[in-house]
Amino acid sequence: MLKVVQLKCEYLKNPIDIGVTKPRFSWIIESDKRNVVQTSYEVHVSENGDFRNMLWNSGLVESDESAHVYYEGPALKSKTKYNFRVRISDNYGETSDWSETAFFATTLCSPNEWVARFITAEGKDDGKSSKGTLLRKEFGISEEIESARVYVTSLGMYELHINGKKVGDALFTPGWTAYNKRLQFQTYDVTEMLKQGSNAIGAVLGAGWYKGDLAGWIGRRNVYGDKTALLLQMNVLFKDGSESVIVSDDEWKSSDGPILYSELYHGETYDARLEKEGWDKPDYGDSAWEKAQYVDFDLKKVVPQDGLYVKRQETLKPKAMFVTPKGEQVIDFGQNLAGWVKFKVSGNPGDRVILKHAEVLDKDGNFYIENMRAAKVRIEYILKGQGEETFEPHFTFQGFRYIMIEEFPGNPPLEKFEAIVLHSDMEKNGTFSCSNELLNQLNHNILWGLKGNFIDIPTDCPQRDERLGWTGDAQIFISTACFLMDTALFFRKWLRDLKAEQLENGGVPFVIPDVLTNNLQSDRIIREQHSSTGWGDAAVICPWTAYQYYGDVEILKEQYETMKKWVGYIREHAAEGLIWDTGFHFGDWVALDAKEGSYIGATPTDLIATAYYAYSTKLTAQTARVLGNINEAEEYDSLYDKIIQAFRNEFYTSRGRLAARTQTAHILALMFDLAPIEHKDRTIKTLLKLLEENKGHLTTGFLGTPYFCHVLSENGHLDAAYDLLLKEDFPSWLYQVKMGATTIWEHLDGIKPDGTMWSANMNSFNHYAYGAIGDWIYKVTAGINIDPSFPGFKRAIIKPRPGGGITYVIAKQKTIYGDLSVEWSLIDGYIMVSVIVPHNTQAFITLPKASPEQVQDKGIDFVTCDGGCAGMVGSGRYEFKYVYA
């Protein structure tokens, strides 16, 4: 049996918003055999479902590629649906049937295709306003409808309605991009929402990221503009072949609505008494509404959707309702999350529901919001008094576990409240469970840290007046993120904004989209505006990591110039082009070895900066080689060698002592291969000594912590790595777990052992950076690794390394070729290892403490290796059991 399933186009199933000229196809192979390799494929593309009039027939292509296969046919038309199917053959001589038909549709592919214009309901004095506004238009349809598509975006956020129903399930559209350079538009199929006769289309607009409050600690507003606006074009195709186009223009009507106030940080105030019943339906009396006004915006900056939509993902029921020692009525949802509260309420007109949000309770059990800083995190709903009313916000979200009910008509019933979890619509990639329940909870916390902070961009935190796309946090966590979720499109979109925001001199802003450069004069910590080591390096590390996980060379093609410019920026600012000792750096941020009153750890920033400089240069050389730019690869190789030598000359003594006696200094020297070969053992021993001096605990910050366990396990100290990971007292990952954390904290000591807290000024309890340990858990404990020469898990490296008293692990990774899984268990002196390898891939399996003789009966050519034996396998399921001693 050979079968082709799960057809996708540009990572998506049946997308309708393709804006590229040469889309790519991917598929999964099913077979009942082992060692299955695709030997050829055929792809058909047609405008009709029976494929009689073929647009493109690839012909028989001898290739094992089943991911990122390019369309090579005639130029595609915009606003057109195309069907495609795939047939393959394998190395057993079997040919599959044609796959089920999938489709993709192109969207508006050129700015010249827009005939609509931006319109607004706001005036020149509304820059300070955070109200919601309404826009509407009625139109008639006399012909029978074949299909209808809406292409829409906004300045601010929008909700689109047709004939009384919301269009689609996406939230916070059009998402956050570098609006002054690129603004996404969305495509919706609204065929079933229209009817012959009278129709109405309407939009609700809110301030959002475009004109609302941003970077609250420096008080930015109207960053991109001071008016919300809508751009909409609907193309209706009739069965007789004719077409009608409805566009946003000055014939639309505008009005204020029931959203009195809506801000991302502060929440929403909604007066249901002001609802305009039927405003989004035909035959509504809008004679008192104002005429919409035009807003100028360069349509060349409007681009098709290239990220993932934010959507409702889960609904959590309350765990408990209680009264705090201060008399506050509080609901606990049992999980720190990002989203909002949906509730039902009955009462009289003018009655109010007022909610506030918090992540934790203080040591006395009272509601704690000081760490929200200036964010008001407040929801106010004013009842219209017509039976039971249901409310959920529109253009805001909060990071919370607890809500305080400040006001509610009558006694609030617990069952009337729900927490709606929101995040970008990523498919779950990885799962992990093991015999250690604290470690399982840590993995849960890491996943929920991702969920809470991957809301259109990779934010630092989802609760306080910040929520920005910090580059350092993203590069630290991206590998773990790719294990947990399918983040290919999520990071593609964000990296396109990074590319757009990169400065002319190659510098990289601290946050993407950039709302900080040239606006930090009042910040007491940050003395410069951009380009910190470990933060700007996201320009190199993120695309390279995404390429490793998805095997998508287009990511490198798009970002290569950005990578080169970043390395060039450092070279320009480094002493003799080699030691980066200038500028402001966050350094080993919030390390425990920082001086009192400082957030920057004790490791010298010039050492960290030069180490990351070497690493980014190395990755840029590797990227150049992948792209076939051999001469440039050799140039970067040469620069890399010079940086390494300069690092050793500057930071190592002649006897091999690393000048900075900190954990992070030694971790980076080892992780980035900067330690002199003859002095590597001393570097390792000193790191172990530093660990011992701290009773086996870490003192590292953002840049040292992610690599600590890797450095230990890769240098012969696996037991020390497990000991560090599984520490339960302060400071450690499991300390947070035992303190009741359900996400990852910004500070290892966010809540101290005595129940007091880190300064409220910077104390997020949902801050995923330290969750980067997930990368080690998947790669070492579970043993799932990528062969860098065969990215995308085309060839996996399976190398489980048991330890820490863990007796079993079950892990799965969904790859672009299918599900890869590893299970191992220790029972009565034996180890059982089970591996599933997706079809059309291979895996190099290392069995710990095994000899070839113990496993040769599996028909695999195992050979002795360091720590066990190893062999190459093809696709299929493999099980091994042997004495483990």
Is 438 exposed, middle or buried, given 0-12, 13-18 or 19+ CB atoms closer than 10 A? middle
Is 667 exposed, middle or buried, given 0-12, 13-18 or 19+ CB atoms closer than 10 A? buried
Are the beta carbons of 160 and 194 closer than 8 angstroms? Answer: no
What are the structure tokens assigned to 810, written together? 């079950």
For residue 609, count other CB atoms closer than 10 A to its CB: 25
**3-state SS track over 287-356:** CCCEECEECCCCHHHEEECCCCCEEEEEEECCCEEEECCCCCEEEEEEEEEEEEEEEEECCCCCCEEEEE
β-bridge pairing 302-304 and 183-189: parallel
φ/ψ of residue 452, rounded to 5: -70, -20
CA atoms within 13 A on the CB side of 753: 7
Kindly list the distances between the CA atom of residue 854 and the CA atoms of 182, 669, 835, 867, in Å, as whole numbers in the listed order.
59, 38, 17, 14
DSSP 696: T
Omega before residue 304 within 30° of 0, cis: no
CA–CA dist 52, 17 (Å, integer): 25
For residue 273, count other CB atoms closer than 10 A to its CB: 13
Q: Which amino acid is at 191?
A: T
For residue 13, count other CB atoms closer than 10 A to its CB: 12
CA–CA dist 853, 778 (Å, integer): 28
CA–CA dist 680, 666 (Å, integer): 10
Instruction: Indicate the SS3 state at residue 683.
Output: helix
Kindly list the distances between the CA atom of residue 306 and the CA atoms of 79, 452, 582, 724, in Å, as whole numbers in the listed order.
16, 21, 36, 40
Burial letters 230-251, b for 16+ CB under 10 A, else e: bbbbbbbbbeeeeebebbbeee
φ/ψ of residue 543, rounded to 5: -65, -35
Burial letters 751-779, b for 16+ CB under 10 A, else e: beeeeebbeeebbbbbbbbbbbbbbbbbb
For residue 223, count other CB atoms closer than 10 A to its CB: 19
Q: How far is CA 629 from its chain centroid?
A: 30
Instruction: Indicate the SS3 state at residue 177.
Output: coil
Give the H/E segment covering residue 390: strand 389-391
β-bridge pairing 329-345 and 320-323: antiparallel
CA–CA dist 443, 427 (Å, integer): 17
What are the structure tokens assigned to 215, written together? 């970077």
Q: Where do we find the tokens 């093991």? A: 434
CA–CA dist 28, 34 (Å, integer): 15
Q: Which are the contacts of 127, defined by CB distance < 8 A and separation ≥ 6? A: 211, 221, 222, 226, 227
Burial letters 58-91, b for 16+ CB under 10 A, else e: beeeeeeebbbbebebeebeebebbbbbbbbbbe
Kindly list the distances between the CA atom of residue 573 and the CA atoms of 400, 568, 584, in Å, as whole numbers in the listed order.
42, 9, 12
β-bridge pairing 157-162 and 119-120: unpaired
Reference 150, options 139, 286, 666; nearest CA is 139
Residues annotated as catalytic (active site), given as ranges? 466, 746
